[in-house]
Structure 1
Amino acid sequence: MSRPHAATLVFDYADSTAARLVAASVEQELDDIEGDRTHATLTRSEASIEVRVTADDLTALRAGMNTWFSLVEVAESVAEV
């Protein structure tokens, strides 16, 4: 099913080790936090992480983006990156 709204969040880090650590911390949430109206994918390329959030409506897109911003922020804080 194609979702009409999407946003891509990109997080850049000092090195690939930091990006790998944060990605490993948040990627386990991919299937656990999705609702009926949103979907997220995560990819890592060297020292950056890309989270793509798709949603059925703008309210769901905003909620999905806020969720992923928070998850990454917590992972960064715990990993001290």
Structure 2
Amino acid sequence: MPDAPGAPHGVLLEFAYNDADFASRVERSVRQEVGEIEGDRTIATVSRDGSVLRVDVVADDLVALRAGLNTWCSLVEVAERCSAASEP
């Protein structure tokens, strides 16, 4: 989890793909959003290990955590659809 003093709630999202190249495209798409999304109650980090994409979300409270999870799941979903559409 990201180190966020005062942020007691957190979730690690893992998205496993069949292909490391696909995971890399999704990662590049969502990584640019880290630090750009409005809100001072949630922090997220994005990392990838081979074909597994990880998004760590920590928040000050459960409402902020839910909102952050919704945001990041939506961003990953859109990146997946765009990456799939661009495959030959």
Give the TM-score category using the shorter length: over 0.9
Q: Describe the superposition over 1:1-56 as per-residue Cα deviations: whole angstroms up to 9, x where unpaired.
A: 41100001000001110000000000000010141100000110000100000000
Gaps of 5+ in 1: none
| 1:35 maps onto 2:35 in alignment | no
Structure with greater Cα Rg:
2
Tell me how large the CA RMSD over aligned residues is.
1.1
Number of aligned residue pairs: 81
Structure 2 alignment gaps of length 5 or more: none
Output the amino acid matched with 1:72: V
The one-letter code sitting in structure 1 at the alignment partner of 2:28 is A
Write the distance in 2 (CA, Å) between the matches of 1:8 and 1:76.
18
Stretches of 4+ aligned residues off by more than 3 angstroms: none
TM-score, scaled relative to structure 1: 0.95
Give the percent of matched residue pairs that are identical in Structure 1 and Structure 2: 52
Q: TM-score, normalised by structure 2?
A: 0.88
